[in-house]
Structure 1
Amino acid sequence: MPFDAVLCDFYDVIGYVDLTEHERRERACGLVPGSTEKIAFAPELAVPAALGRITVGQWTEAIAAGLAGLAGPQDAAELSRGFVEAGCRIDAEVVGLLRQVRARVPVVLVSNSTLRLNAVLETAGLGRSFDAVVTSAQVGVAKPDRRIYEAAAQAAGAAARRCLFVDDRAANVDTAVELGMTGVVYREPDDLLRVLAPLLSEDHRSSS
């Protein structure tokens, strides 16, 4: 077996946030699309939310407060909720590959995100599709801090050098490689298929 576990990012690998409806609402309120996102991901709000220092509810309220000067209180509150609770488009091909691999080794999600990721997975029908979900809000550190990688490897029950790490950001993959993991910078499903091929091959299947 080439790997004992697969550690995979969620956003922009498996799930893609769909802000189409949210941006329509921004336009209806006279705002430039992306206005809410700019406030939400300002470091003074995004960092505490991602590290679990404030709750998802507190983050939502803070975003609404930031929008209050651009839209009325009711519109600001609705826009904030719409942004935080936006749905995801799931890449079925990637999910299918990971499900095949999970029959052979643990698959653990590693995401810089709030604890709302669990609700996103449930809504997408992926609540039981992974062996563990490790978020920055849960462990209090975010990629590329090595501690979140170590927490994910521990959750998978595998040594770091025996883990495959998949992420769409090169800086995050670099840290994984420094820890001895095999790293893949994800751009398209073929990137994942190539590295997972040994786990999916008939030779490995027949020897199990």
Structure 2
Amino acid sequence: MTSSRTPDSSRPSPTIRGLFFDFGNVICTFDNRRILRALAPLCERTPEALETLIYGSSLPRAYESGAIDSRTFLEGLSALCGHAFDEATFIRAFTDIFTPIPTTFALLRRLKGRYRLGLISNTNPWHFQHGIQTTEVFPLFEAVTLSHEARALKPDPRIYRDALNKLGLDPGACVFIDDIPAFAEAATSLGMHGLVYTGPEALEADLARLGVEV
């Protein structure tokens, strides 16, 4: 599946003014196994054991939803793993997970100036500060909505409404691109044009069907 809804050829093409992008696996890939491999020697556990401990707990979701701050997150993980992680060491391990997707970088540069661009991401303060915000295409975004600031995780409607309010656009004038179908479908249910990212060629074809000049 390449899009969460198929444009109706019997209706006029919508006038798209804004495009919202997810970050992980749309703008940059990410690999949480890097975190596990970096932390495992510090607390004398295997990466597999750490994966169960960390991602089987409520801490990552609480951090991304803004329910806890960075200090509480680090203290919670230290207690969970039985090792008092040094903050600087932990941040390096925790945030060294992103790899750019060059085709999306190029697409964003082509779209900038002709459309208003926004970012909607389920993320946490450290991933944002040390991974997302430092990405070279980040300045292209006019509006940024982060789950820990909005205190809502996709597919909660509140995170999409926050993004729409920041650009001041009607949902029907906006596209949202995410690699997770349920998140794209949630945008569609609010009147946006939700597209599922499966690769650069499919994305450009979906955008072209919506009348977006790519």
Which interval holds the TM-score relative to the shorter structure?
A: 0.7 to 0.9
Give the Å deviation of 1:43. 5.0
Secondary structure of 1:128 counterpart: helix
Preserved contact between residue 35 and residue 94 of structure 2 (Cα < 8 Å): no
Give 2:161's aligned residue: 150
Preserved contact between residue 63 and residue 80 of structure 1 (Cα < 8 Å): no
Separation (CA, whole Å) in 1 of partners of 2:147 and 2:90 = 21
1:43-192 maps to which residues of 2 (within 5 A)? 43-68=57-82, 72-73=83-84, 80-116=90-126, 117-192=128-203
Give 2:53's aligned residue: 39
Give 2:212's aligned residue: 199
Preserved contact between residue 181 and residue 196 of structure 2 (Cα < 8 Å): yes
Preserved contact between residue 108 and residue 137 of structure 2 (Cα < 8 Å): no
Secondary structure of 2:205 counterpart: helix
Give the Å deviation of 1:114. 1.2
Count of residue correspondences: 197
Q: Percent identity?
A: 25
> Which one of the candidate residues 18, 24, 32 is aligned to 1:11?
24
Separation (CA, whole Å) in 2 of partners of 1:6 and 1:130 = 10
Preserved contact between residue 110 and residue 152 of structure 1 (Cα < 8 Å): yes
TM-score, normalised relative to structure 1: 0.81
Amino acid of the structure 1 residue aligned with 2:121: S
Q: Which structure 1 residue ranges, 5 or more long, are not aligned?
A: 202-208
Amino acid of the structure 1 residue aligned with 2:78: A
Separation (CA, whole Å) in 2 of partners of 1:179 and 1:123 = 31
Q: Which structure 2 residue ranges, 5 or more long, are not aligned?
A: 1-13
The alignment yields a C-alpha RMSD, in angstroms, of 2.5
